[in-house]
Amino acid sequence: MDAAVRLTVRDGLEGWSVRQLAAELGVGAAVVYHHVGDRQKVTMAVTERVIAQVPVPGADLPWRDWFGALLSDVRKVALHYHGVARQMVLLGPVVDAAREIIGEGVGVLKAAGFGDEAATIYSFLVNTAFNLIAVEDDRNAQPESRLEHARTLADLADEQGGSGLAAMGEWLRARSTDLDKLRAYDAEFYRYCVERALDGAQARLVAIRRRRR
């Protein structure tokens, strides 16, 4: 499993085969199948290792601070392991390491007053985060394509009429030639989207409380 995690850091979760994993270890593929299982079991075990690195915030935090801390740490961890965020989006919380996080998170939401909607709100917030990370992850895997796309959009700044595309192009112009600036924007955009998702959950909590009066 240590070798599988190393390969994931280097090539991404979908970038290596059981045969390549076996070669990394200097053994035959049959050894991997015997001790761990097929590729799906190996990738699930890698995902387990990665999610286990996400610290669980203290249960004494207010619900919004709890999720702010969790989702910040989720991004920091997941971006080191290309493909794991997409795995979590597609398969959901099927790894043991996610159970403690889910239990604490839903509990924090219930205590805040979300009631029967706590599990749905939890899924909304966490899926929003993992989807954003998965997209960022894919962009990071294709740096040249990303720069080319950004330059294409930046050229739209020269369009006449002040269209929305022109405004987007102007905004991108300062970033379009610098991958570090684009990645810094990813972090900024992630924080923005998480905050807006939390705003939406807060608005829903207000509506739930009003309904109970």
| 78-100 pLDDT per residue, tens | 999 999 999 898 877 678 888 88
The pair of three-digit structure tokens given for residue 196, joined into one six-digit string: 């807006």
Range of the domain at 129: 55-141+178-212
Tell me the whole-structure pTM to 2 decimals.
0.86
Q: Is residue 37 part of a domain?
A: yes
Q: How open is the CA angle 123-52-58, to the nearest 5 degrees?
A: 70
Q: How open is the CA angle 94-95-101, to the nearest 5 degrees?
A: 100
Structurally, the chain folds into a number of domains equal to: 2
CA atoms of 25 and 19, how far apart (whole Å): 10
Residue 134 CB contacts under 8 Å (≥ 6 apart), including other chains: 85, 86, 89
CA atoms of 150 and 184, how far apart (whole Å): 14
91: amino acid identity, one letter: L
What distance lies between CA 56 and its chain's CA centroid? 16
Is the domain of 9 the same as that of 84? Answer: no
Domain of 71: which CATH number?
1.10.357.10
Mean pLDDT of 94-107: 90
Give the pLDDT of residue 159.
Answer: 62
Weakest-pLDDT range from 106-115, 162-171, 192-201: 162-171
